Amino acid sequence: MAFTVELTINEVSHAHGYEPTDLVVVDGIEWSRSDSGIAASGGRLCVGSDWAPDDVDRDARRFAYSLPQGEQPIPLPLPEVSLD
């Protein structure tokens, strides 16, 4: 079964620099919160042994973009909202 997980650029860089690397993914964890804290149980474990990120298997979903120097966001007035 194929599924998708999000990786940070640091996770990909680390995997390229420290081979072999295992990719370990846990999903389906059930959790609850009570006065005594948080409890977790269950889940599914998927381990990819000797994993190396392949450009073919990656899809860019986010990009960091820096505004050119001197360009600043222009604050817009917020509309007045009545809560009556």
User: pLDDT tier at 6 (50, 70, 90 boundaries)?
Assistant: confident
Distances (CA, A) of 63 to 8, 9, 60: 11, 11, 8
Helix (H, G, I), strand (E, B) or coil at 10: helix
What pLDDT is recorded for position 84? 63
Confidence of residue 35 (pLDDT cuts 50, 70, 90): very high
Phi then psi dihedrals of residue 6, to 5 deg: -90, 135
The pLDDT-based confidence of 32 (bands split at 50, 70, 90) is: very high
Domain borders along the chain are 9-56
Reported confidence tier of residue 2, pLDDT bands at 50, 70, 90: low
Model pTM score: 0.57
Q: How far apart are CA 5 and CA 27, in angstroms?
A: 10
Round to whole Å and give the CA distance between 79 and 84.
15
